[in-house]
Amino acid sequence: MDLVGVAYTSRSNHPIASADLDLLLMDSRSYNSQRGVTGVLLFGAGQFMQYIEGLPTDVEHVYGRIRRSTLHSDMVELEQRRISKRVFSKWFMGFRDAPASVIQKLSQEQWHRDMPLVEGHAAASPGMRQLMVFLDLISTDQR
């Protein structure tokens, strides 16, 4: 199946209270589940890092909503590529608090843009593997 994955970082425009984050996540999960878009959002010290995946038209819709949001700015796209299978198939939008240092480290990793189709997790970009290590989905020795 032809899927795409997109990762980016951004900065919140205002201090975000946990109630605001809850609303953002509720809204995102509701829309993402209608669209079949899965992924994960990290937030800490005013920085966001998000990865979304799904069918190209669905990802484009969700990515459009994200880009239009006035809650954040300074978006930097890290990865945009075709993927052969989902990494976060059960998470319409997983969430983790992350220290700024982790988000910064992830943004400095190598991500893949417009790479040919690759198979499975073994061929994930170094950035994606680091994200999975942070989320405890794979252990460090599988990097």
Ligand X SMILES: Cc1cc2nc3c(=O)[nH]c(=O)nc-3n(C[C@H](O)[C@H](O)[C@H](O)COP(=O)(O)O)c2cc1C
Binding interface with ligand X (CB under 6 A): 10, 24, 27-28, 31-32, 41, 48, 50, 52, 62, 65-66, 69-72, 93
**Smallest separation, CB 119 to ligand X (Å):** 26
- Closer residue to ligand X, CB minimum distance, 71 or 118: 71
Smallest distance from ligand X to CB 25, Å? 8
Residue 28 vs 125, nearer CB to ligand X: 28
Rounded Cα distance, 92 and 31, in Å = 9
Residue 66 vs 78, nearer CB to ligand X: 66
CB of 6 to ligand X, least distance (A): 10
Q: Which is nearer to ligand X, 100 or 117 (CB)?
A: 100
Q: In what order do the strands lie in the sheet with 47-54?
A: 72-83, 3-12, 47-54, 38-44, 94-97
What's the min distance (Å) between Cβ of 129 and ligand X? Answer: 22
Whole-number minimum distance, CB 49 to ligand X, in Å? 9
**C-alpha separations of 139 from 17, 87, 118, 135, 143 in Å:** 32, 15, 21, 10, 7
Closest CA to 76 of 97, 109, 49: 49
Of 90, 89, 11, 88, the closest CA to residue 49 belongs to 11
Nearer residue to ligand X within complex by CB, 32 or 125: 32
DSSP 66-80: HHH-TTEEEEEEEEE
